[in-house]
Amino acid sequence: MSTLNSVADLGSRIGDLFTNIIGWTLFILIIVEALLVWVIWAYRDRPGREEPKAVHGHVGLEIGWTMIPALIVTIIAIPTISTIFRTQAPPPDNALTIQVTGRQWWWEIRYPELGIVTANEIVVPAGRPVTLELKSGDVIHSFWVPRVGGKRDLIGGKVNTLTFTVETPGAYPGQCAEFCGLSHANMRMLLIAETPQEFDRWVDTQREPPAPPTGEAAAGPAAFVSGGCLACHTIRGLSTGVVGPDLTHVGSRQSIASGLLKNTPENLARWINDPPAVKPGARMPKLPLTGQQIATLAAYLGALK
Amino acid sequence: MSRLRRLTGWLTTVDHKRIGILYGVSAFAFFLIGGIEALLIRLQLAFPRDSLISAETYNQLFTMHGTTMIFLAVMPLSSAFFNFLVPLMIGARDVAFPRLNALSFWIFLFGGIFINASFLFGAAPNAGWFGYANLTSKTFSEGQNLDFWLLGLLVLGASSLIAGFNFIVTIVNMRAPGMTFMRLPTFVWMTLITQFLIILAFPPITVGLILLGFDRFVGTNFYNPAAGGNPLLWQHLFWLFGHPEVYILILPPMGIISEVLPTFARKPLFGYPVVIYSGILIAFFGFGVWSHHMFTVGLGPVADSAFSIATMLIGIPTGVKIFNWLATLWGGRIRFQTPLYFALGFISMFLIGGLSGIMHASPPVDMQQQDSYFVVAHLHYVLVGGSLFGLFAGIYYWWPKIAGRLLDERLGRVNFWLFFIGFNVAFFPMHFLGVMGMPRRIYTYAEGLNWELWNRTSTAGAFLLGVAILVFLFNALVSLRRGAVAPADPWDGRTLEWSIPSPPPSYNFAEVPIVKSRDELWAQKKGRRSAVPRSEASPEAIHLPAPSHYPIVVAFGIITLAAGALTHLWVSVAGAFLMIYGIYRFAFEYRSGAHG
């Protein structure tokens, strides 16, 4: 999750500026600390040392050491301002817009141009600019994928944007960076950059309805309805709930419960059985489901690729 | 004197020195509580997926750790010094309004107890010391946790404002003859600047808290975006207070070390006027930089640039101060005693905090550092490496004057080195954790992110820091029991407080001194001129303000009024009556003054 080794233009620009500023600050740090150590060594009280002269100040020196920090501040300020404007420039025309809505404690992801709705995993094409439209469904959250770049807050009544181009395909973890209540620590996510071909394939599968369930999962839709899941979750063609994440293709995600658990049948069963035990305060309650229902649901959801 | 009479003496005291001691002892008690909270936090973070502490408890602990350390430990520890020292340093017999001084102490103490009492109900505040709206709304925080917090902070704000006005009037009006502004000890100057910061910074947070109170108790929607309110309004109001607050926490320790360094280098402060002007500039700029806490909320590139430049400008007067301190040491005859160790600790550690501050003054860099452990490292280098090192320098420096006994030098040095090493082991690794992407305020984290090593190191350092505090407590107890009796002037000091006995008599100065120079006592001792000849004054004739019951009554009324908001309207009504009764009696209290 390191902020160094950036994989996107945004992070690289920030990284360059950081390297520049850390150079100057280390320079000042070393000089001043060395000076301090030297002064207290050279002027330590020793037998025979004379009573010091009462020097009250020196105008030239004081002007000098006002100018030095002023100069260094100016040197730091110039690339800062230019980076501010470059990293907050309006998105280019070919940018892919993705809407990210923060909710206690998960991320809703929408691709308005592609008609895709998903959660907690943002899939982007590598090499193409992406603009995130950041909103909040409840309290303030903050979007942060350290290897992609800096964070931007999600605030009710306001739409923030964050534009970047991921250069290197891969999966990069992130998490909410603004304290947002009980399970703030558990509001994680994954940003997955795919090659353009892989991305197009992903888009195609997401737009398809999921394959009809077979085998153990065949009873899934019925369990989904009778268990009450439909009230909060959408599975295209089956339900239209909007309180929780869209589950149409939940089986295709790498993780569940906003990045807390790997997406395996066991973990799905564990989550469905008692969500607040996995994620304290989770809005999804422990429902009165039988073991059989949970197993069916886990198999069904896992198969929603 | 019987025990009861002694207790009543403390409860009704209006003597600035006793109030200073009350502030110091209470603040230190709160400091220990805040420290225990920190150790629990560090225990939880020592291992990934640690299950020692629940999410809810963790959120309460970090909220209370921040709230306690800022409002109940560092601020009132500074107040302890203001109270004890300002009258002594300006040659006065007390503050301008001794009873108001007592009132501000009792309000502070009751306010602090009130916030902490929330633990007894399992409802400690849990939205962070910064309490960002709209998480603080009734919708998202149903319990009374945040009611404790907002009422407690409102009450504490009253205490700070009362003390602020009191010290401004004291410093402007009560200076001894000849003590012109440019002869004021630097600590008094920094105190004066701090009081102006307090009276200007507390109104915005008071407004913010009252709006929050309306939202929570009455159902208004100031911060509710769903009803057209704006949660960012809180952030602006809070940081318009919150950033000056940082200078409220750091300027008094800067004043302390500006007294300690000249004494132990045996040279006057280098560039005294520039140090003063730098303090004023830091305070002034401090009101124009609040949005650097908001670089990630999306204010736009123009606002980000403006607040970035304003923030970087603060680096200039701060740098000037550091150079002036170095120049004060330069050419001196430096005696290595415990207060100096802590003062040097201040310079070397505060510098690190200042420089990391320059890094996140740059908004793009801040986008990566905001709300990460990098900022946790930064703020602790400023508030522990800066404020606490400075306050400990002050404690070791003025302890003999306050307690009348010396602290042990060897234990003092052990205290310093444990503190210095523990502090760096605890907080330096947090820079790495922040760069490695660890966010703040998370009660748990997954393994495999390379955060384990540095978290474990940090926890070890925190416990070392705890041991350092125990060494200090031991040193203090030993000193009080059987420490060597302190002479009036144990360090060969420069300012007026060292011209009177340790501890000072209740009337401070038998005869009000006539001041002829900066570092008045030093000038007298160096024999450039003798002290102004004193007539043999009889201390019995000195008029002193009489003790009063009413400050504590008024303070109790105020806290009862606040408690009513959590219980029943009638409790508030009773509190209001008690408060008004107290103020009435306070106003018409007339007793002939006690005599020294």
B368 contacts in chain A (CB < 8 Å):
3, 11, 14, 18, 146, 149-151
The average pLDDT across B272-292 equals 95
Determine, for residues B365 and A85 on separate chains, whether the beta-carbon distance falls below 8 Å. no
- Given CB atoms, is A43 within the 8 Å cutoff of chain B? yes
Token couple for A237: 């063609």
Active-site residue flag, B518: no
Same domain, A99 and A239: no
Q: Which residue of A has its CA nearest to B432?
A: A2
Least confident of A1-10, B284-293, B325-334: A1-10
In a domain, A207, yes or no: no
Of the candidates B37, B147, B245, B497, the residue annotated as catalytic is: B245
- The complex's ipTM works out to 0.96
Of the candidates B243, B401, B405, B518, the residue annotated as catalytic is: B243
Choosing from A140, A167, A195, the residue where a domain stops is A195
Which three-class secondary structure state does DSSP give residue A262?
strand
A145 φ/ψ angles, rounded to the nearest 5 degrees = -120, 100
Same domain, A86 and A155: yes
Q: CA–CA separation, B49 vs B44, rounded Å? A: 9
Active-site residue flag, B258: yes
A18 contacts in chain B (CB < 8 Å):
359, 365, 368
Residue among B412, B365, B404, B359 nearest B381 (CA): B359
Residue among A102, A174, A167 nearest A130 (CA): A167
Active-site residue flag, B447: no
Same domain, A125 and A260: no
Same domain, A7 and A155: yes
Active-site residue flag, B401: no
Q: Which residue of A has its CA nearest to B362?
A: A80
**pLDDT for position B592:** 52
Which H or E run contains B594?
strand B594-595
Token couple for B399: 């302890």
Active-site residue flag, B129: yes
Give how many domains chain A has, as a whole number: 2
Residue B566, burial from CB neighbour count under 10 angstroms (0-12, 13-18, 19+): middle
Same domain, A26 and A163: yes
Does position B528 have pLDDT exceeding 70, yes or no? no
B573 near B564, Cβ under 8 Å? Answer: yes
In a domain, A149, yes or no: yes
Active-site residue flag, B321: yes
Task: Give the number of other CB atoms < 10 A from CB of residue A240.
Answer: 12
Of the candidates B94, B147, B304, B489, the residue annotated as catalytic is: B94
Active-site residue flag, B37: no
The domains found in chain B, sorted by start residue, are 3-595 (1.20.210.10)
Q: How far does the CA of residue B33 sit from the closest CA of chain A (Å)? A: 23
Determine, for residues A22 and B359 on separate chains, whether the beta-carbon distance falls below 8 Å. yes
Which H or E run contains A152?
strand A152-154
A21 near A76, Cβ under 8 Å? Answer: yes
Determine, for residues B358 and A25 on separate chains, whether the beta-carbon distance falls below 8 Å. yes
The set of residues, in sequence order, having a beta carbon less than 8 Å from that of B195 and lying 6+ positions away, is B163, B164, B165, B167, B168, B171
Determine, for residues B265 and A53 on separate chains, whether the beta-carbon distance falls below 8 Å. no
Question: Which of B140, B305, B371 comes nearest A81 by C-beta?
Answer: B305
The set of residues, in sequence order, having a beta carbon less than 8 Å from that of B545 and lying 6+ positions away, is B14, B94, B98, B99, B593, B594
In a domain, A168, yes or no: yes
Which H or E run contains B375?
helix B373-382
Does position B93 have pLDDT exceeding 60, yes or no? yes
Of the candidates B17, B99, B267, B293, the residue annotated as catalytic is: B293
Tokens 């990566």 correspond to: B368
**pLDDT for position A156:** 95
Q: Which residue of A has its CA nearest to B441?
A: A179
Mutate to test the interface with A, among B135, B277, B346, B447 (most CBs of A within 10 A): B135
B292 near B307, Cβ under 8 Å? Answer: yes
**pLDDT for position B302:** 96
Of the candidates B18, B42, B65, B216, the residue annotated as catalytic is: B65
- Given CB atoms, is A138 within the 8 Å cutoff of chain B? yes
**pLDDT for position B236:** 97
Question: Which of B298, B313, B319 comes nearest A152 by C-beta?
Answer: B298
Q: How far does the CA of residue A201 sit from the closest CA of chain B (Å)? A: 30
**pLDDT for position B596:** 41
Q: How many CB pairs under 8 A join A and B?
A: 266
Buried b (16+ CB within 10 A) or exposed e, B400-438: bbbbbbbbbeebbebbbebbbebbbbbbbbbbbbbbbbb
Q: How far does the CA of residue B44 sit from the closest CA of chain A (Å)? A: 13
Q: CA–CA separation, B257 vs B340, rounded Å? A: 8
**pLDDT for position B268:** 96
Residue B364, burial from CB neighbour count under 10 angstroms (0-12, 13-18, 19+): buried
Tell me the pairing of strands A121-125 and A188-194.
parallel
In a domain, A208, yes or no: no
B363 near B304, Cβ under 8 Å? Answer: yes
Q: Which residue of B has its CA nearest to A11?
A: B368
In a domain, A24, yes or no: yes
Q: CA–CA separation, B250 vs B257, rounded Å? A: 11
pLDDT band per the 50, 70, 90 thresholds, residue B591: low
CATH number at residue A289: 2.60.40.420
Same domain, A152 and A21: yes
A21 contacts in chain B (CB < 8 Å):
358-359, 362, 365
pTM over 0.80: yes
Which three-class secondary structure state does DSSP give residue A98?
strand
pLDDT in tens, B1-26: 688 999 999 999 999 999 999 999 99
A132 φ/ψ angles, rounded to the nearest 5 degrees = -90, 130
Q: How far does the CA of residue B444 sit from the closest CA of chain A (Å)? A: 6
Same domain, A242 and A154: no
Q: How far does the CA of residue A9 sit from the closest CA of chain B (Å)? A: 13
Mutate to test the interface with B, among A7, A80, A142, A160 (most CBs of B within 10 A): A80
The angle formed by the CA atoms of residues B356, B358 and B361, to the nearest 5 degrees, is 115
In DSSP notation, B462-490 reads HHHHHHHHHHHHHHHHHHHHHPPBP-S-T
Active-site residue flag, B267: no
- Given CB atoms, is A35 within the 8 Å cutoff of chain B? yes
Same domain, A231 and A273: yes
Q: How far does the CA of residue A214 sit from the closest CA of chain B (Å)? A: 35
Per the structure, the complete domain to which residue A298 belongs is given by 215-302
A104 contacts in chain B (CB < 8 Å):
140
Identify the DSSP state of B70. I
Q: Which residues in A155-257 belong to E strands, given as ranges? A: 160-165, 170-175, 188-194, 234-235, 239-240, 255-256
- Given CB atoms, is A163 within the 8 Å cutoff of chain B? no
Same domain, A244 and A189: no
Q: How far does the CA of residue B230 sit from the closest CA of chain A (Å)? A: 7
A13 contacts in chain B (CB < 8 Å):
364
Phi-psi map region of B448: left, alpha, beta (phi>0 left; psi -120 to 50 alpha)? left
Least confident of B456-465, B510-519, B536-545: B536-545
Q: Which residue type, as a one-letter code, is found at position A254?
A: Q
The average pLDDT across B291-297 equals 96
pLDDT band per the 50, 70, 90 thresholds, residue B498: very high
- Given CB atoms, is A27 within the 8 Å cutoff of chain B? no
Tokens 């060494």 correspond to: B471
- Given CB atoms, is A23 within the 8 Å cutoff of chain B? no
Q: CA–CA separation, B440 vs B380, rounded Å? A: 13
A277 contacts in chain B (CB < 8 Å):
none
Q: Which residues pair with A123 in a beta bridge?
A: A192
Start-end of H helices in B12-70: 16-45, 55-67
pLDDT band per the 50, 70, 90 thresholds, residue B529: low
Determine, for residues B444 and A186 on separate chains, whether the beta-carbon distance falls below 8 Å. yes
Q: Distances in Å between the alpha carbon of B540 and those of A92, A109, B411, B596? A: 84, 80, 40, 5
Token couple for B573: 């009504």
Q: Which residue type, as a one-letter code, is found at position B217?
A: F
Determine, for residues B231 and A140 on separate chains, whether the beta-carbon distance falls below 8 Å. yes
Identify the DSSP state of B496. G
Determine, for residues A2 and B348 on separate chains, whether the beta-carbon distance falls below 8 Å. no
Q: Distances in Å between the alpha carbon of B501 and those of B480, B487, B508? A: 17, 7, 9
Determine, for residues A152 and B367 on separate chains, whether the beta-carbon distance falls below 8 Å. yes
Choosing from A167, A195, A223, the residue where a domain stops is A195
**pLDDT for position B496:** 95
Tokens 């929570």 correspond to: B216
Active-site residue flag, B245: yes
Give contacts of A 91-110 with B, CB under 8 A: 104
pLDDT band per the 50, 70, 90 thresholds, residue B595: very low
Q: Which residue of B has its CA nearest to A53?
A: B267
Q: Which residue of B has its CA nearest to A152?
A: B296
In a domain, A206, yes or no: no
Active-site residue flag, B452: no
- Given CB atoms, is A55 within the 8 Å cutoff of chain B? yes
In a domain, A290, yes or no: yes
Tokens 């070791």 correspond to: B396
A39 contacts in chain B (CB < 8 Å):
326, 329-330
Q: CA–CA separation, B211 vs B362, rounded Å? A: 32
Of the candidates B16, B18, B93, B321, the residue annotated as catalytic is: B321
**pLDDT for position B589:** 84
Same domain, A176 and A224: no
Q: CA–CA separation, A71 vs B154, rounded Å? A: 42
In a domain, A135, yes or no: yes
Dihedral, B380, B384, B390, B392 alpha carbons, nearest 10:
180
Q: CA–CA separation, B563 vs A59, rounded Å? A: 56
Determine, for residues A155 and B232 on separate chains, whether the beta-carbon distance falls below 8 Å. yes
Tell me the pairing of strands B543-544 and A121-125.
unpaired
Does position B532 have pLDDT exceeding 90, yes or no? no
pLDDT in tens, B554-589: 999 999 999 999 999 999 999 999 999 999 999 888
Mean pLDDT, rounded, of chain B: 94
Q: CA–CA separation, A165 vs A131, rounded Å? A: 9
Active-site residue flag, B318: yes
pLDDT by position in tens, chain A (length 305): 788 899 999 999 999 999 999 999 999 999 999 999 999 999 999 988 888 998 999 999 999 999 999 999 999 999 999 999 999 999 999 999 999 999 999 999 999 999 999 999 999 999 999 999 999 999 999 999 999 998 999 999 999 999 999 999 999 999 999 999 999 999 999 999 999 999 999 999 999 999 899 988 999 999 999 999 999 999 999 999 999 999 999 999 999 999 999 999 999 999 999 999 999 999 999 999 999 999 999 999 999 98
Same domain, A161 and A74: yes
Determine, for residues B268 and A17 on separate chains, whether the beta-carbon distance falls below 8 Å. no
Start-end of H helices in B68-184: 75-90, 98-117, 145-173
pLDDT band per the 50, 70, 90 thresholds, residue B590: confident
Tokens 């990630």 correspond to: B296
Q: Which residues pair with A188 in a beta bridge?
A: A175
Same domain, A226 and A128: no
